[in-house]
Amino acid sequence: MTFRSGFVTLVGRPNVGKSTLLNQIVGTKVSIVSDRPQTTRSQVRGVRTSPDSQIVLLDTPGIHRPRTLLGERTNERARATLAEVDVVCMLVDASGPIGRGDAFVADVVHQVATPKVLVVNKIDLADRGAVADHLAAAASTLGDFDAFVPLSARTGVGVDALVAELEAHLPEGPHYYPEGVVTDQPELVLAAELLREQLLRVARDELPHAITVIAEEIEPEAGEGDQDGAREVGDMLRIRARILVERESQKGIVIGRGGANLKDAGTHARQELEALLGTRVYLETRVAVERDWQRRAHSLDRLGY
């Protein structure tokens, strides 16, 4: 039996559902999801292994016209993957018109000779006629693609058809990752991203891009209680994370009245980490101000952006 394997990058303008699609294909959460544009800031790899194939998916930051140095760097990361993969998968949003942002991404995508699949996502938010119109508009305005696949990353409808299309374009190859591996993200990176996702949720529109999280240390230790007051003897991981904002006023937003926002975000992030890592977690957080970190090259270098 022929075994196919290779790398697929997911690209598109911000907020078209790339991270949701990655998680749906992999079958578990490996990339954070938010309705905020540009939530993904670095390259995330998810791995889907079946008896016949292994697809290594790269979730990239949304390609956009940047307003900060951070935006310029995330664009560069997204562009850099295009020529290094076996298939480029471009997403557009069925619930809104195809616009200049989509055309901008398509122009970037067509600069490489890599096989390309266009995904019309969020069909659950549009009626069948609108989806058909969207497919026709995409075919006429965004250039030539090897395949067009309508789907809903949120519900999973159409995702199997996309997987089959991706597999058809993959070369014969080895297992790049062992069975059971769904991501190559280090535990510290997972911890930082899950906490950032929850902070974006509780802070809502008050901190659109001013927040980042650095998980600085992870160490095993014996523990006798969790952060919600329950007493349970057993080993656990202690993770220390630092939350950075750009203004002193934003620090109060992150913490919330009586620490409510930080506690809420920390509890949800800890629960997701425990499910992913299979062990109890103690998440220790502190909030600090680093002015204009998104616009300072030395800050972005130090933070890994």
pLDDT band (50, 70, 90) for residue 141: very high
> Going by C-beta distance under 8 Å and a sequence separation of 6 or more, which residues neighbour residue 260?
none
pLDDT digits (tens, 9 = 90+) for 272-297: 888 877 788 899 999 988 887 767 66
**pLDDT value of position 171:** 95
What are the pLDDT digits (tens) for 158-196? 999 999 999 999 999 999 988 888 887 777 787 888 888
In this prediction, residue 78 carries a pLDDT of 64
Element holding 76 (H helix, E strand): helix 69-80
pLDDT above 90 as % of the chain? 31
DSSP state of 234: E
Q: Can you tell me the distance from the alpha carbon of 12 to that of 61, in angstroms, rounded to the nearest whole number?
A: 8
Element (H, E) at 267: helix 260-277
Q: In this structure, are strands 116-121 and 147-150 parallel, antiparallel, or unpaired?
A: parallel
pTM (global) more than 0.95: no
Interstrand relation of 53-59 and 44-49 (parallel, antiparallel or unpaired): antiparallel
Q: Which long-range contacts (CB under 8 A, 24 or more apart) does 99-106 make?
A: 101/13, 101/64, 102/12, 102/13, 102/138, 102/142, 103/141, 103/142, 104/13, 104/63, 104/65, 105/11, 105/12, 105/13, 105/63, 106/142, 106/143
Task: Point out which residues pair with 88 in neighbouring strands.
Answer: 9, 116
Instruction: Assess whether pLDDT exceeds 50 at residue 205.
Output: yes
Question: What is the Cα–Cα distance from 103 to 107, expressed in whole angstroms?
Answer: 6
Q: Which residue did the predictor score with more confidence, 62 or 280?
A: 280
| Cα diameter, the chain | 62
Q: What is the pLDDT of residue 3?
A: 95
Tokens representing residue 176 in the block = 């790049």
Q: What are phi and psi of 31, to 5 degrees?
A: -130, 135
Which residue segments constitute the domains of the chain, with CATH numbers given? 4-169 (3.40.50.300), 187-303 (3.30.300.20)
pLDDT at 226: 52
Task: Provide the token pair at 191.
Answer: 């911890």
The percent of residues in the chain predicted with pLDDT above 70, rounded, is: 79
Distances (CA, A) of 160 to 24, 51, 172: 10, 15, 20
Strand order in the sheet with 280-289: 212-225, 231-245, 280-289
* Dist CA 25 CA 42 (whole Å): 19
Whether residue 48 has pLDDT greater than 50: yes
Q: What tokens appear for 243 in the block?
A: 């939350």
